[in-house]
Chains A and B, each alone.
Chain A
């Protein structure tokens, strides 16, 4: 067959030609018996192919595919999401926050305790001088003064 339009016949049947091209094929078919016969054969075949029974995969295939996918190493996004999922993240967050609060409070308590201990030691060390100078209401700010009381005394500056 020498008609150049023949190459367009399948696309014409499939509705894949532009309106202009389709009109050109229609015009040609009206005057070409060979192309009409080919077009009829193609049309009949396409209809018969559509009626062929389709291959149906087995139910077991689904199980095999999902099992193989389950056995694969998880991708990073999912691993990260597993770590940060709410069920795990909420208790972890609460525990971490509690630990921070405990650490801060305990730290302050320890610092205060240490400051008090330093004051008490200084007072104990210079107790006899404090008696002489009648230091009352001693606080952390007075600690330096207390620690250097004997030096002040030596220099004659009470």
Chain B
């Protein structure tokens, strides 16, 4: 990161290769749209390059990275630049873009996976921004509560509460879908 701060683009490329999937996944959880998630990811990495000098080696890099990413996603969503959709986008065959091709899985499981994804996505959009951020960092990036607290500038107790509410809310939605409700956008957590 110190080399990136000095303008070393090769070091930046290595940093991108190592972390871009995590950032893109995180952005995608925010906007539920592949194109918008990529735009956000691009903005986040360019911002990271421009402000690399602000990084202090005392902070964990991943925490620093997700602080930049979370702030950027929250700001862009609040500005209305990125409208969150409640269902994942589909390709011309009706498959969600981010899902593997059906032949990669058993057909039943592929359908089930898409429906579960749609249920989770819809449940995430009903969460507050901070709940969604904490949830995505915990469930999809495997970050500890302490690191998430640093990303959100919150206490660990607050993060514990955010993650619990979010996980319970998503769990209730998944439970309703599994019980046959199959209308996650209207079901209440």
Which A residues are closer than 8 A to B by beta carbons?
7-11, 14, 16, 38, 41-42, 44-46, 48-58, 61-62, 64-66, 68-70, 72, 74-75, 77-79, 81
Q: How far is the CB of A50 from chain B (nearest CB, A)?
A: 8
Q: Per a CB cutoff under 8 Å, which of B9, B34, B99, B172 touches A69?
A: B9
Name the A residues within 8 Å of B107 (CB-CB). none
Known: A41-B171, A45-B171. A66 touches B98 (CB 8 A): no
Residues in B neighbouring A52, C-beta threshold 8 A:
113, 116-117, 120
In the complex, the answer to whether A11 meets B164 with C-beta atoms within 8 Å is yes
Cβ–Cβ < 8 Å partners of B9 in chain A: 66, 69-70
10 shortest A-B CB distances, which residue pairs? A78-B7, A45-B171, A57-B24, A55-B28, A10-B164, A55-B98, A77-B6, A75-B7, A10-B167, A16-B145
Residues of chain B lying within 8 A (CB to CB) of residue A16? 144-145, 160
8 A Cβ contacts from B113-150 to A:
113, 116-117, 120, 138-140, 144-145
Q: Determine if B164 and A77 form an interchain contact, defined as CB atoms under 8 angstroms apart.
A: no
Flag if B6 contacts A81 (CB, 8 Å).
yes
Closest to B13 in A: A66
Is B46 interfacial (CB 8 A cutoff)? yes
Interface size class of B (residues with CB under 8 A): 35 or more
Residues of B contacting A: mostly: helix
- Which residue, A9, A49, A78, has most C-beta atoms of chain B within 10 A? A49
Q: B37 near A57 (CB under 8 angstroms)?
A: yes
A48–B116 touching, CB < 8 Å: yes
Q: List 13 A-B contacts (CB under 8 A).
A: A7-B160, A11-B160, A14-B138, A49-B120, A52-B113, A52-B117, A53-B113, A55-B98, A62-B13, A69-B12, A75-B6, A77-B6, A81-B6
- Least Cβ–Cβ distance between B139 and chain A, in angstroms: 5
- Shortest CB–CB separation between residue B25 and chain A, in angstroms? 5
Instruction: Say whether, besides A69-B12, A70-B9, A78-B7, A14 and B98 are in contact (CB < 8 Å).
Output: no
B145 touches A68 (CB 8 A): no
Give the interface centre of B25, B42, B163 by most chain A CB atoms within 10 Å: B42
Query: Is B113 within 8 A of A75, CB to CB?
Result: no
